[in-house]
Amino acid sequence: MSSVEGDIIIPVSKPSPGSAGDTGLWRVFKPVVHEDRCIKCWLCWLYCPEEVISEGENGFPEINYSYCKGCGVCADVCPKDAIEMVPD
């Protein structure tokens, strides 16, 4: 009779931001918030697929550029054109 020897390996990934690296490096265009035009409706926050928009210290949307992929969805949904996509 033979028996199974060695360690049993169970692959477990640990939750962590940046699981695919610094995805901000994928960006071609960078979203820039013009606070003078922003009405804080937070639609950019709602629709950002990457969860990188939050309320900054000054109460306006703040973007985490380490992971923002530059898709431009935030700029597209902003009712006040307060987000500009500029070449990065």
Give residues in contact with ligand SF4 (CB under 6 A): 31, 33, 38-44, 48, 50, 52-53, 61, 63, 68-74, 78, 80, 82-83
CB 32 within 8 A of CB 61: no
Q: In the window 23-82, what residues touch another protein (CB under 8 A)?
A: 23-24, 26, 41-43, 45-52, 55, 64, 66-67, 69-73, 75-77
Of the two residues 9 and 33, which places its CB atom closer to ligand SF4 in the complex? Answer: 33
The mark string for 10-29 relative to another protein (x by CB under 8 A, - otherwise) is -x-xxxxxxxxxxxx-x---
CA torsion sign, 79 to 74 to 86 to 53? Answer: positive
Q: How many angstroms separate the first and last alpha carbons of the chain? A: 64
CB atoms within 10 A of CB 80: 13
Nearest to 26 by CA among 68, 60, 59, 55: 68
Residues making contact with another protein (CB under 8 A): 11, 13-24, 26, 41-43, 45-52, 55, 64, 66-67, 69-73, 75-77, 85
